[in-house]
Chain A
Amino acid sequence: MVRVYFKGILKEYSPGKNEYIDIDYRNDLTVEDLLSLLETDQGQVGIITVDGKLIDNWKYNVGKEAVVELYPVFGGGR
């Protein structure tokens, strides 16, 4: 089982507006696959961590018990 957390405003757009969703693990599961399964707009995701590690490559394979955190894009503040 892989647990995916939706941080900040992304929670409002997660399935059921849940803080996290558990996804069944399968072989060669990538971060990109997860986003696709969850129908998450990739352009709205700014930061991804897997087991606390910052992931730059969205083809990154997640492990069986991985904890994935998705943070929204932050395109400038005040």
Chain B
Amino acid sequence: MAYGYCGEILHVDLTGETAVFEQPEENFYRKYLGGAGIGTYYALKAIPAGCDPLGPDNALIFSAGLLTGTPAPAVPRFTISGKSPLTGTIGKSEAGGYWGPGLKRAGFDAVIIKGIAETPVYLLITVEGCFFKDASEIWGKDTLETHLYLKEKEGKAARIAQIGPGGENRVAYANIVNELAHFNGRNGFGAVMGAKNLKAVVVRGNRKVDCYDGQTAKELTRWVSDNLKDHPQAYGLYKDGTPAGLTVQNAGGTLPTNNWQENVFNEAEAIGAGSMERILLNRKGCFSCPIKCKRVVQVEAGDMSVDPRLGGPEYETLACLGSNLGIGDLELIAKANELCNRYTIDTISFGMTLSFAMECFEKGLITIEDTGGYELEFGNKDILLPLIKQTAYREGFGAKLALGSRALGRELGAESEEALLQVKGQELPAHDPRFKTGVGLQYAISAHGADHWAAQHDVLYREKDSGPMRSIAPLGITEPVSITDLSAEKVRLFYYTHLLTMMYDCLGICVFGYISRSMIPLDKLVGLVEAVTGWKTSLWELMKAGERVSVMMRAFNAREGLNKKDDLLPARLYQKVASGPLKGSPGIDPGEFNRALDIFYQMAGYDEKGVPGTGKLSELGLEWIRTEQVSHDNK
């Protein structure tokens, strides 16, 4: 009997409107667990090398975490995998909310979607099977309109993952939203759905996710509720949410401002957690999560009203649509966030692409004729909302912004390069690696482009005897490491917490529930996996699954011709800090960073070009990956 997982994988072909059901054996689940493990496995199996990300051969794989749907705390997540149209690499994007548990309740661990529908459709997945449904009535509608329509049509219990006009119009960084406020935000998978004529994937079911020992999972949820206040980082997520980071980053002189040309924003307090109390309506959480880190905001101001059903801005949004654009108007940012959510546009990539364009405008590389009359000046509040709409519909200058910053930069020429802040085509989140070099390693090494949750953050591990430091003692790390260090000790810290975080992505775990960002320790986590599955397992076995994700993603990229030459940080990060309390501090040393990359490759079992070696593939039981082709494409 299967515990934790359902034992059923769904393969859908939109072109032929066929569905095939696969029942993998238990060992498959033990090896890949779920989420990113199963997603990356099928990405390698189903997607041919060199395929067009927006063509019929690309696959979109939705896979729930192994623990997702159980009554355990903070395990709501599912992964979307496929080839990213933004980066041209393997893509990987997680979301919380309710859709992942809904997929399990419909009886499936994962769904693999290929082909292109002839006309707009949505998929309905239930315990009875998979149904192809006409979406012509909702094609062109925004996410709120689509949500209401599908709830009416398929019932209130249906869980909806969908795209708005940004996805339909194939904005390179369009995202996918479930239940209106939970996003697979990065890598542009909304554009892939749009290209497939797939408006939504609706799941509905009442099948309980069987646990070997469900009581332990429930007790852990109760333990989190009972002890939340004893853990400042976890309780802070409830009380202030991620917006709390804004004033912290600003005080430390590390808040990306004006396309990272500055590190301090004078109006940070105006868009921080304290100010958000003014528009805060509620705090919400994901499935079976007592932490409730999500903000729900409401503004009633005519055309500028913000509908609370579409959630509220997180830290990354406040920085990327706020300080980084020179905008200190919280209500405007909340409205911009709502619009992006209606259109399914990633707020990080949009904000960073616009800030790149603003700097290019300052430098004269973009003119007012190019923008159709918009003054792309930092702090110009009048342009934000119209440019979001233009981007979603690929109209006017929005058609340029819809390309993403790397593609736009290629059109503008080499002079624009110093203003570019992206890795492998994906725009940087709002964490400056000059002050946490491990995050720089994350950005550079992530197979799917700059990602701030490919490992834990350096700031957690700089004080001996602190809670976060003690939390990773089971990994064998007991000594603090300076946030600006790039020695082998830092690489090891990054590497081990990278494997930990990839393991989380297989299990469906949210980093806001578990160590080191939050409170649930590793021994309780291993006990939870044992209770849910009935397996006798260990942290070692589970982290090996995380390692498989990392290695499979690099193998996918190697097949596409990517290697060390693509593990690059943007030029600005090598420059001195220009302003704020850290003014004059050195940028990242390129020689040291290059050495750190080499050390990482050696630790990970990659060759000197950053490609997984045959020994590593064998050690992880991944011999099936065609190593000859991997190395051939990298000659």
Give chain A's interface residues, CB within 8 Å of chain B: 7-10, 12-13, 41-44, 46-47, 49, 53-54, 69, 71-78
Contacts and interface: CB of A to CB of B under 8 A. Distances in A.
Given A8-B273, A44-B233, A75 B247 contact: no
Interface of B: 229, 232-233, 235-236, 239-240, 242, 244-245, 247-249, 251-253, 273, 293, 314-316, 429-431, 452-453, 456-457, 459-460, 463, 465-469, 511-512, 516-517, 581-582
A19 to B, nearest CB: 11
A8 B251 CA distance: 12
B315 A41 contact: no
B456 A72 contact: no
B240 A78 contact: no
A74 B248 contact: yes
Contacts of B229: 12
A43 B465 CA distance: 8
Contacts of A42: 463, 465-466
Contacts of B245: 74, 77
B275 to A, nearest CB: 13
Contact of A77 (B232, B316, B456, B469): B316
Given A8-B236, A54-B253, 14 more contacts: A7-B247, A7-B251, A8-B244, A8-B248, A12-B232, A44-B233, A46-B459, A49-B251, A73-B460, A73-B468, A74-B459, A76-B457, A77-B431, A78-B314
A76 B247 contact: no
Contacts of B240: 8-9
Contacts of A43: 460, 463, 465-469
A75 B519 CA distance: 13
Contact of B244 (A41, A44, A53, A72): A72
Nearest to B516: A75
A75 B497 CA distance: 13
A53 B248 contact: no
A47 B249 CA distance: 9
B465 A54 contact: no
Contact of B582 (A7, A54, A72): A54
Contacts of B459: 46, 73-75
B253 to A, nearest CB: 6
Contacts of B465: 42-43
A22 to B, nearest CB: 21
Nearest to B466: A43
A47 B483 CA distance: 13
30 contacts: A7-B247, A8-B236, A9-B244, A42-B466, A43-B465, A43-B469, A44-B232, A44-B466, A46-B459, A47-B248, A47-B251, A49-B251, A49-B581, A53-B581, A54-B252, A54-B581, A72-B232, A72-B233, A73-B248, A73-B459, A74-B245, A74-B248, A75-B457, A76-B431, A76-B517, A77-B242, A77-B316, A77-B429, A77-B452, A78-B242
A71 B463 contact: no
Nearest to B249: A74
Contact of B315 (A53, A54, A71, A78): A78
Contacts of A12: 229, 232, 235, 239
A55 B245 CA distance: 18
Contacts of A77: 242, 245, 314-316, 429-431, 452
Contacts of B235: 9, 12
A41 to B, nearest CB: 7
Contacts of B248: 7-8, 46-47, 71-74
B242 A41 contact: no
A76 B316 CA distance: 9
Contacts of B242: 77-78
